[in-house]
């Protein structure tokens, strides 16, 4: 159908509007200059959903749910706020020379002409409700507006005092009377939560202040406040995290809880002195991401069966290893959810307690009060627990206590930092645990990483570069044509990825491997022996994820980090 047909005529064709009503609305439009849709909605003659459906079904213009996507601030900058408000539209993503714009009236020729002129790009239209667009405009343009307000309303002499004022996130949203600086800090945090960021990096440089969010494991730059507000922003965060505002020479740590809507979000704050001032990292612990069951973590069937059998053992030590941000805590919580029951006394020691689990007694570490992992573990053993979860084995004393607990009839789960599963054995030995104790109590080690998954909406066939086929050819088993990639769409913000999934390497301690530990065998030899006994490595499992079309070959290269340069391989594409 021709897109030149007016929306009013389409509404009449569908029976949502009578010819008389259309005539009355057109007369009012001539007098007031309002858009047809605005008048119809004000009169309650149609609903916004009806209007969007007519445009979508009759004209073939895609509709979009703005609530389910994250828009890159650099894309928002392509369209001035005045134009966005005037025509009720917002840019959502850009691919090459084409800018996709969500519009409540995609037949607005004047708006389309203005967009082409100011962006110098081709315009691809999608339709969304006016309310959804208004909310998106408020969300994505508000941060820049607030920055302008801070610059305008705050003098240099006021910065320090404004940073001391108190306000909660829930009070911040929509409040016009609060201090602009507080509103700015709150918006930075709220925006990160809405984008499901795992952390916020506020980094001072010589001439600018850089703000980056980590989304799906990748840092992405955001709209940044002016450089001269850096000290005040840091002071405000220190107040929220109960740090020493006057101390700028040494690193500090703190935490606070923010409320966004009906959801409590725990934020861990860390400061670090740099040559240009204090860098701040806010780690956002969104509890929505922690309520995950074992079947949803990404285990292959065999690894899942083996791990489930391991965590149901009555005693022994199970370790989960991987870098920061690899999902170790989520795996621990999923394991506890799987094995908790009324018959078991389960106690955890955490820093911090990230998610409250029913039937589990959770202890928060407090180093200032003298409650460390080791001291808490010593006290917990007097509580006659069946299962103990230690958030992290950081030192020799904690390692010794965890091993002792495992040897005296308790199941102990914990995390440790090593590159692979076999490396955890060497790490325990380095911490001073005797080899015969490690061989006696260690049930197994689960190493893990997170890889980004391809956006299901824009998934398409991918072709592997010759260098990648040469690198992985023997392991692809003739499945080179099975690989997929994300081309970029409005759902994934043009990145081609949406969400992450775990890949795992489970080392089960058998009699042969215990003998190798007692013989002081190297980690590499233990790994080779475990593979011969059936252990599947993270490399093998991430390649399987690629063959299954779950992730891309680029993610495989990023995670496996083989001898060949990943950068060189990627550049060859």
Which value, to the nearest 10 degrees, does the dihedral of the CA atoms of residues 562, 510, 297, 329 take?
-90
- Backbone φ/ψ region at 211: left (φ over 0), alpha (ψ -120 to 50), beta: beta
**Dist CA 550 CA 456 (whole Å):** 9
Task: Output the 3-class SS for 254-311.
Answer: EEEEEEECCEEEEEEEEEEEECCEEEEEEEEECHHHCCCCHHHCCCCHHHHHHHHHHH
Contact, 81 vs 141, CB < 8 A?
yes
Task: Output the 3-class SS for 500-512.
Answer: EEEEEEEEECCHH
According to the model, what pLDDT value does residue 190 have? 82
Half-sphere exposure of 218 (CA within 13 A, CB side): 14
pLDDT tens, position by position, for the chain (573 residues)?
444 456 777 788 777 788 888 888 888 887 777 777 777 777 878 777 777 887 777 778 888 878 767 777 778 888 988 889 888 899 998 888 999 999 988 888 889 999 999 989 999 999 888 888 888 887 777 666 655 655 555 554 444 444 333 334 444 444 444 567 787 888 788 888 877 788 999 999 998 999 999 888 888 888 778 888 899 899 999 999 999 999 999 999 888 888 776 677 889 899 999 999 999 999 987 665 555 678 888 898 899 999 999 999 999 999 999 988 888 988 999 999 999 999 999 999 988 777 778 899 999 888 778 888 888 988 998 899 999 999 899 889 999 999 999 999 999 999 998 888 999 999 999 999 999 999 999 999 999 999 999 998 889 998 888 888 887 777 776 787 889 998 887 677 677 888 889 999 999 998 899 999 999 889 899 999 999 998 998 888 998 999 999 999 888 888 776 434 343 334 444
According to the model, what pLDDT value does residue 164 have? 39
**Dist CA 516 CA 195 (whole Å):** 47
- On whether the pTM is more than 0.75, the answer is no
Tokens of 460: 């398409």
**Dist CA 230 CA 211 (whole Å):** 11
């Amino acid at each position: 159908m021709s897109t030149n047909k007016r929306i009013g005529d389409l509404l009449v064709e569908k029976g949502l509007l009578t010819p008389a009503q259309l005539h009355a609305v057109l007369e009012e439009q001539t007098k007031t200059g309002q858009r047809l849709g605005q008048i119809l909605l004000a009169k309650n003659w149609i609903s916004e959903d009806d209007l969007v459906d007519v445009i979508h079904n009759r004209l073939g213009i895609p509709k979009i749910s703005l609530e389910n996507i994250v828009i890159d601030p650099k894309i928002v900058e392509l369209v001035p706020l005045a134009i966005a408000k005037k025509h009720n539209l917002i840019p959502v993503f850009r691919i090459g020379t084409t800018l996709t714009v969500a519009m409540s009236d995609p037949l607005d020729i004047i708006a389309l002409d203005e967009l082409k002129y100011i962006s110098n790009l081709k315009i691809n239209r999608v339709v969304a409700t006016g309310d959804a667009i208004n909310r998106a405009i408020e969300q994505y343009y508000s941060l820049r507006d607030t920055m302008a307000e801070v610059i305008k309303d705050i003098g240099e002499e006021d910065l320090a005092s404004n940073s001391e004022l108190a306000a909660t996130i829930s009070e911040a949203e929509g409040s016009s009377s609060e201090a602009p600086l507080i509103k700015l800090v709150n918006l930075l945090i709220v925006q990160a939560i809405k984008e499901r960021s795992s952390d916020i990096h506020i980094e001072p440089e010589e001439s600018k202040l850089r703000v980056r969010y980590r989304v799906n494991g990748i840092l992405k730059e955001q709209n940044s406040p002016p450089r001269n507000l850096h000290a005040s922003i840091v002071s405000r965060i220190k107040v929220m995290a109960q740090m020493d505002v006057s101390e700028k020479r040494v690193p500090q740590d703190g935490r606070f809880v923010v409320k966004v809507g009906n959801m409590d979000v725990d934020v861990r704050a860390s400061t670090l002195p740099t040559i240009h001032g204090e860098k701040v990292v806010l780690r956002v612990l969104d509890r929505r991401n922690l309520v995950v069951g074992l079947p949803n973590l990404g285990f292959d069937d065999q690894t899942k069966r083996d791990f489930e059998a391991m965590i149901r053992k009555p005693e022994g030590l199970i370790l989960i290893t991987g870098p920061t941000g690899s999902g170790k805590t989520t795996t621990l919580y999923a394991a506890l959810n799987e094995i908790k029951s009324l018959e078991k006394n389960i106690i955890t020691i955490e820093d911090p307690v990230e998610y409250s689990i029913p039937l589990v007694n959770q202890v928060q570490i407090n180093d200032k009060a003298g409650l460390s992992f080791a001291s808490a573990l010593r006290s917990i053993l007097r509580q006659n627990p069946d299962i103990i979860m230690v958030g992290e084995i950081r030192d020799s004393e904690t390692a010794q206590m965890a091993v002792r607990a495992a040897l005296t009839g308790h199941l102990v789960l914990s995390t440790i930092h090593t590159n692979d599963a076999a490396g955890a054995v060497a790490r325990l030995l380095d911490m001073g645990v005797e080899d015969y104790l490690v061989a006696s109590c260690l049930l197994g080690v689960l190493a893990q990483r997170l890889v980004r998954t391809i956006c299901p909406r824009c998934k398409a066939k991918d072709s592997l570069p010759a260098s990648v086929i040469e690198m992985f050819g023997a392991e692809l088993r003739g499945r080179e044509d099975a690989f997929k990639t994300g081309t970029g769409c409005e759902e994934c913000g043009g990145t081609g990825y949406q969400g992450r999934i775990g890949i795992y390497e489970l080392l089960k301690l058998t009699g042969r491997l215990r003998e190798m530990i007692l013989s002081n065998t190297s980690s590499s030899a233990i790994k080779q022996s475990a593979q011969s006994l059936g252990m599947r490595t993270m490399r093998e499992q991430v390649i399987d994820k690629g063959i299954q079309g779950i992730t891309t070959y680029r993610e495989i290269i990023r995670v496996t980090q083989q001898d060949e340069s990943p950068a060189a391989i990627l550049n060859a594409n």
